[in-house]
Structure 1
Amino acid sequence: MNFKKIVSIAFASALLFTTSCRNESTFTEEYPKGKYEDGILMANEGNFGTPNADVTFASNDLSSVAQQIFKTNNNNENLGDVLQHIGFYSKYAFLVLNNTDKVKVVDRFGFNKVAEITEQLNNPRYIAFNNNKIYITNDTKYVNIYDGNNLAFISRLNINDTAERIVSAGNNIFVQNAAWGYGNKITYINGSDSTVNSQITVPNGQIQKIIADNGFVYAIASDAAADSYIYQISSTGAITKTINLTGISKAANLTIDGGKFYFTSGMKIYGMNVNASTIPTSPIVTATESAPYSGLYGFDVIGGRIYTSDAQGFTADSKVTVYDANNGSIIKVIDVGRGTNGFYKN
């Protein structure tokens, strides 16, 4: 009996994807919720080569924390090896498992597994959704496309460049052609027919991260010893605005919350109004790290709070520190899972 096929059919029956894609920032539909509503999901990637990835949930007021919520709600099943990214579509969370070569799909509010995507996956990285299709960066240079109704594999796009982060904006798809701090291009995929339209080159800096917000793509780019830049890119692939972060080098980890950009430079966390004409001269917070490459391993700003993680050198579970985004004061420190790399509003 083909269990995967049965699960996919059950998923398709429950899914009822009748509208265009939505991502974390535009999810507005109301569904029956559960024990993991109105809080923060924390992605714990685990140790490479060990299936100890899982997800931590913290309530909005941070008063309660639940560990290993995938394992807890799925008969003690291990989530997998290296949880790279979590994407939301409708009432489902898609858990991208890089070294397990799978995407596990769960009810985002109860965390019961409903399906898996495995076909044509090899080291998947990031996921996006558009026009009832699922896009996954895969095997370092491809984008795999799946049917949003039944998770069936449709096709693979050869990006002919690095394929890392992927976002949806204005019914089109954008792929970051940069990884590990190197690369200055973004591939623009037409959302109507899933074909590569063009490649966008930012004029200065190496792209560290792209995000989508309010119909635009934003890219933060920097070099080791020079200024940094934030580029605003339209949903049709044109660079419409450039913000020169003069005097700030190595800027990374861009996010938007409450009409403000937040980004990091080393262990410093900065904030500025999206429409500001002046560049911040002092950080909101200067974080510390327990070991090289451990500090700010995970970073995001959600609802006026800065969430950071220290990976503790991957020899111990991560520590998440939550700060007030207005004044930098510490709100809470939380012990979570191994290698916490991301935070998601649920």
Structure 2
Amino acid sequence: MKQFQQKSLLILVLAASIFASCKKDDRSNTEPEQPTAERKGLYVLCEGLFNANNTSLAYYNYDDKQLTTDRFLAVNKRGLGDTGNDIKVYGSKMYIVVNVSSTLEIVNPHTGASLKKIDLKDKGLGRQPRYIVFNKNKAFISNFDGTVAVLDTASMAIEQYIKVGRNPEQMAISNNKLYVANSGGLDYPNYDNSISVINLNTLKETKKITVVENPRALAADQYGDVYVLSVGNYADVKPSMATIDSKTDEVKTELAFSGGSIVISGDLAYIPASGGKLKVFNVKTEKIEKENFITDDTKITTLYGVAVDDLTGEVFITDAKNYTTGGEVFCFDKTGKKKYSLNVGINPNNVVFVNK
């Protein structure tokens, strides 16, 4: 439900010299192993319109280049529900978080068939799930009711709920800890300003880290840092990006930043900026590498989501256009040149990849 979040456009205001003071030159230079799987296709989650019950799931087959605009509906003879907010593939299953319907749909990614639909409700009231992340045999789902649900991925059953801060949004995992952004986004103007830290062995919150008000986006790099993008209060508290050292849980840096999402692949972080641009930030050198990843004349009307295929280096940008009609997904090669685009449903917000 990203239009509900009043997405801010990203503007960097600090010089590269400031970033350079915190270089990670003393850290490991070991490159992660390159994945060897072969892609079968990709899914695009289109959240639809708030309260319109029209979330859709597009599927693009790499072999025959065929696009199915709503594979879930075609296979299951029912829709996903109201306002799909997040989607991930983990192991042999695909997980779709549907915010307003307060459901988690678990799907066979190869067929599109539903394996289980889980209601995330408390005494009949929807918990409003937001995002999902994974660690070993557990999935963690943030819920706007101030909890994180713990799901066993084998039994597909909710085991417990962990109490965190107000209106938690995105999560990230680093050093065997789960970091949860407590936004307080439904409590204007009294936003939350904390990151909950959960021990993944005990599944208990151990502390809260104070950051700038209204934290929403989280991402962890391979060096043990967790990046937090906070929106601020839309008045005297400005947006920022904090960097947390997961070894100490201390905030290392807090920079003037404006943005609602961050995606990290290898050493590169991709951060939406104003004017349909995509900034590229190197998390190792802590410098901006590119003001705009796109190197050709492709124009993005409303940059809504970003995904990176770690296998190919391809970068996918979703364009919500005017938020009310069909959107578009652009595939760029690693140099920032457009390869192709797909016309999909309303408000496409996430792209995930399926292996053969």
TM-score after normalising by structure 1: 0.75
Shift in alpha-carbon separation, 1:226–1:283, aligned structure 2, 3 A: farther
Unpaired runs of 5+ in structure 2? 1-31
Aligned to 2:59: 57
Aligned to 1:238: 249
Contact 1:105 1:116 in 2 (8 A): yes
Partners of 2:92 and 2:244 in 1: CA distance: 29
1:261 to 238, 259, 269: 269
Deviation at 1:208, TM superposition (A): 4.3
Partners of 1:103 and 1:27 in 2: CA distance: 31
Aligned to 2:180: 175
Deviation at 1:179, TM superposition (A): 6.4
Worse-matched range after superposition: 193-202 or 113-122: 113-122
1:150 to 136, 155, 164: 155
2:345 to 315, 337, 340: 337
Partners of 2:63 and 2:259 in 1: CA distance: 30
**Structure showing greater relative contact order (alpha-carbon pairs closer than 8 Å, 6 or more residues apart):** 2
Aligned to 2:139: 134
Deviation at 1:98, TM superposition (A): 0.9
Aligned to 1:282: 291
Deviations 1:148-191 (A, max 9, x none): 33233332222133311123334322211126696542111111
3-state SS, counterpart of residue 48 of structure 2? coil
TM-score after normalising by structure 2: 0.73
> What is the total number of aligned residue pairs between the two structures?
306
- The equivalences for 1:95-106 within 5 A come to 95-106=96-107
What amino acid does structure 2 have at the position aligned with 1:251? G
Partners of 1:45 and 1:298 in 2: CA distance: 12
Partners of 2:253 and 2:41 in 1: CA distance: 34
Deviation at 1:264, TM superposition (A): 1.8
2:209 to 194, 197, 200: 200
Deviation at 1:112, TM superposition (A): 1.2
Deviation at 1:240, TM superposition (A): 7.3
Deviation at 1:341, TM superposition (A): 0.8
Contact 1:130 1:173 in 2 (8 A): no
3-state SS, counterpart of residue 74 of structure 2? helix
Matched, 1:85 2:90: no
Partners of 2:277 and 2:120 in 1: CA distance: 41
Contact 2:229 2:239 in 1 (8 A): no
Contact 2:262 2:270 in 1 (8 A): yes
3-state SS, counterpart of residue 89 of structure 2? strand
Deviation at 1:233, TM superposition (A): 3.4
Shift in alpha-carbon separation, 1:237–1:175, aligned structure 2, 3 A: farther
Contact 1:320 1:335 in 2 (8 A): yes
Contact 2:184 2:214 in 1 (8 A): no
2:44 to 42, 45, 52: 42
Partners of 2:313 and 2:353 in 1: CA distance: 12
RMSD: 3.4
Deviations 1:184-220 (A, max 9, x none): 4211111112111111223x68634102344653323
Aligned to 1:160: 165
3-state SS, counterpart of residue 322 of structure 2? helix
Partners of 2:51 and 2:87 in 1: CA distance: 20
